[in-house]
Amino acid sequence: MGDKKSSGTDNQVGQLAEQMADRVKESANQIWLAGLGAYSKAEEEGSKLFDALVQDGEKLEARTRAIVDKPLTVAKEKVETVRARATGSWEKVEKAFDIRVSKALHRLNIPTRADVDLLTQRISELEAQLEQIEKAAAKAVKK
């Protein structure tokens, strides 16, 4: 019985969330359409209407700026905090991934870049020694 109540509540919550999302989408669409309508009117009626809309917008902006600025600042700070956490978390994930890949390559006996660089350096040293030995042998043969 508890499952039926739980799933019923889940359905209600899901429906409520869907309804809210639909309302937000509809609101955003209406705002978009209002903007397009204002732009269309401005084109039709010329710069006079456009100037009036700009003035009205400036008045509204002045009235709402004080109301919006504080929450906007708080939101920006929260976004920055979340971004910093996410960046730190991502760096930890990358580091953990690098360590795991490195361990896996080591278990498979696949050399690392450092191993290859060390071998390359050792080969260069051995080539130089071999060249010296060959020169010494060539001198000994000439005598």
Q: Which residues contact 111 (CB under 8 A, 6 or more apart)?
A: 119
What is the value of pTM for the model shown? Answer: 0.32
Per-residue pLDDT tens digits for 50-86: 788 889 989 888 888 877 778 778 888 888 888 888 7
Q: How far apart are CA 14 and CA 1, in angstroms?
A: 20
Question: What letter would DSSP give residue 60?
Answer: H
Q: How far apart are CA 10 and CA 38, in angstroms?
A: 42
Residue written as token pair 């009036």: 52
Per-residue pLDDT tens digits for 9-40: 778 878 888 888 888 888 888 988 888 888 77
